[in-house]
Structure 1
Amino acid sequence: MEPLISVHDAKNYLNKGQKILFADCRFSLQDPQEGERLFNEEHVPGAVYFDLEKDLSGKVEDTGGRHPLPSIDIFVKKIEEAGIHKDTTIIAYDDQLSAMASRFLWLMKYLGHQRVYIMDGGFKAWKQNQYPVSNSVEQSELGEFQYDIHNELIATQKEVAEKIEDSNVAILDSRAFERYAGWNEPIDERAGHIPSAQNYFWKNLFEDGFWKSSDVLKNYFSNLAKYKEIIVYCGSGVTATPNVIALWQAGFQNVKLYVGSWSDWITNPDNEIRSVSKS
């Protein structure tokens, strides 16, 4: 199933009144309250808000990174409170080039839910088309969600360390080149990248706020066709997810997310770190 849906097709779903839920995933790392504040001001009618740090991430520990996996029981409870059933179609959106919506979609795929999409262009495109918005928060009927965890979508720190020198495995760093190179690290305590990692900046997947076409993405990732497995990471497992989804869109199958990402990797003093020389 294609992971992306146009804003026009999303609107048609809304018109049909089928069993559908819009997941509003807007969130600002600089202002963690902003996303919910914007949601309360206006959102797609009937949407439910999913907070990156309260809902789509778990408690930060000594290891596991800045945005570890949420507790499955707690996340499933949130899903059911949103009225989501096993046959509910979900359309996720945000206003950060789909970064947060991608995290949501990936989590739903991890739980085995297939009927989930990202609204291409996000809330900005919805507004530009002058589609209806609402500021009311509706109480949903409790859903009955059945999940089937897909651990094959995850790479652990141990697995990444073991596959650094595996010629059949590509490791992708989704951060900006300056962070990958170790020249500038505004967030984490140590700078650099995982040995053998290749830099594929996640924002390169977009043009004018929309995802690039499947053909363009296939060409963009063409050098990765020789690998049997691809592991993707970023700073904390959020902006890596657009790369995961773009790889799916380009036809790659065996793609894993290193959820803890760089912020987890650097917690282990035994893990090697590489940088790029400026000379």
Structure 2
Amino acid sequence: MEATVTKRWLLARLYEPEQTIVDCRFTLGKPEAGRESYEQEHIPGAVYLDLELDLSSPVEEHGGRHPLPDPQLLAARLSKLGIGNDSRIVAYDDESGMNAARLWWLLHYLGHEQVYILEGGFSTWKAEKFPVTDHQPVRVPSSFQASVQPQMLVDVDKVRQVSANMEPSASAVGLSAVLIDSRAHERFLGLEETLDKKAGHIPGAFNFFWKETQNEDGSYKSAEELQEHFSELDKDAEIIVYCGSGVTACPNVLALEKAGYRNVRLYAGSWSDWISYEGNAIAVREE
């Protein structure tokens, strides 16, 4: 099954007991906005998970702006919401799927495969007259047991190693390990930076803006289109994906896997972690 589901697919299964719908709406700089939107209206049966309170851990000196949550704490939160290891989870947001993809990635990291993203998000769901409500469901607690998959991650030391071995190049063809920067091109080049203290990118990285993996309606492009999009990357290469804080990298991870890449790993701390180390080099132009 695809990693995404359509609105009509979800509508037909809206009240199936083995399913939990998760509202992941969140606005950077307005931390209360997502929950307030959820309380005002949401897809029937949906519960809410907050990007910073639930899907991240507190910010420290290193680890980036959205450090990964403690696996056991997240498992306990999921259990409290009635999510168990047999649950099917459908996540949505209103931010082109980036927060929903964070949950998608985290659940895979915890060893849970039955998780999907609603194409188009909440606004298109509502615009097409699908049902919404302000009723918050009462959930019977379940038991979610985490089975952490450490191979899905890389740390800053691994990124340093890959960066040091990457010669400035116009092409990723033939490289055995590749760094992918998921941010907008202006941020990649260091021409603008509104979120982090330093501008630029990790030396040797290639820029694949995460939104270019999607169609205008918020659905992901087909596997064939994504294969063309990532065509300069070798299928056998180790692909390390990062962004500003490890959130918008997740849609790129999903797109790469949909395109058939199987050795895709996340640098969760991403750019905001990289620049927290004084000795790390910074590039401010395309190699």
- Asked if 1:217 corresponds to 2:216, the answer is no
Q: Which secondary structure does the structure 2 equivalent of 1:95 belong to?
A: coil
Q: Which secondary structure does the structure 2 equivalent of 1:195 belong to?
A: coil
Instruction: Look up the match of 1:9.
Output: 9
User: Given that residues 121 and 211 in structure 1 are in contact (C-alpha distance below 8 angstroms), is that contact kept between their aligned partners in structure 2?
Assistant: no
- Asked if 1:138 corresponds to 2:137, the answer is yes
Instruction: Look up the match of 1:191.
Output: 199
* Alpha-carbon shift at residue 126 of structure 1 (Å): 1.5
Deviations along 1:81-113, whole A, 9 cap, x unmatched? 110111100000001000000000000000000
Counterpart of 1:247 in structure 2: which amino acid?
Answer: L
User: Given that residues 25 and 49 in structure 1 are in contact (C-alpha distance below 8 angstroms), is that contact kept between their aligned partners in structure 2?
Assistant: yes
User: Given that residues 235 and 261 in structure 2 are in contact (C-alpha distance below 8 angstroms), is that contact kept between their aligned partners in structure 1?
Assistant: no
Partner Cα distance (2:203, 2:93) in 1:
32
C-alpha change, 1:94 and 1:194, in structure 2 (3 Å) is same
Counterpart of 2:263 in structure 1: which amino acid?
Answer: N
Instruction: Look up the match of 2:150.
Output: 151
Q: Which secondary structure does the structure 2 equivalent of 1:223 belong to?
A: coil
Partner Cα distance (1:239, 1:35) in 2:
17
Instruction: Look up the match of 1:88.
Output: 87
**1:1-279 matched pairs, under 5 angstroms:** 1-15=1-15, 17-164=16-163, 165=165, 167-208=175-216, 209-225=218-234, 227-276=236-285
Task: Tell me which stretches of 4 or more aligned residues in structure 1 moved more than 2 Å.
Answer: none
Q: Which secondary structure does the structure 2 equivalent of 1:37 belong to?
A: helix
How does the TM-score come out when normalised to structure 1? 0.96
Partner Cα distance (1:117, 1:13) in 2:
13
* Alpha-carbon shift at residue 226 of structure 1 (Å): 5.1
Counterpart of 2:245 in structure 1: which amino acid?
Answer: S
Gaps of 5+ in 1: none
User: Given that residues 265 and 271 in structure 1 are in contact (C-alpha distance below 8 angstroms), is that contact kept between their aligned partners in structure 2?
Assistant: yes
* Alpha-carbon shift at residue 124 of structure 1 (Å): 1.8
Deviations along 1:58-94, whole A, 9 cap, x unmatched? 0100000000011222211110011011110000000
Q: Which secondary structure does the structure 2 equivalent of 1:35 belong to?
A: helix
How does the TM-score come out when normalised to structure 2? 0.93
Counterpart of 1:235 in structure 2: which amino acid?
Answer: G
Partner Cα distance (1:183, 1:134) in 2:
43
Q: What's the RMSD between the two structures over aligned residues?
A: 1.2
Q: How many residues align?
A: 276
Partner Cα distance (2:211, 2:31) in 1:
21
Partner Cα distance (2:128, 2:284) in 1:
44
Partner Cα distance (1:227, 1:59) in 2:
35
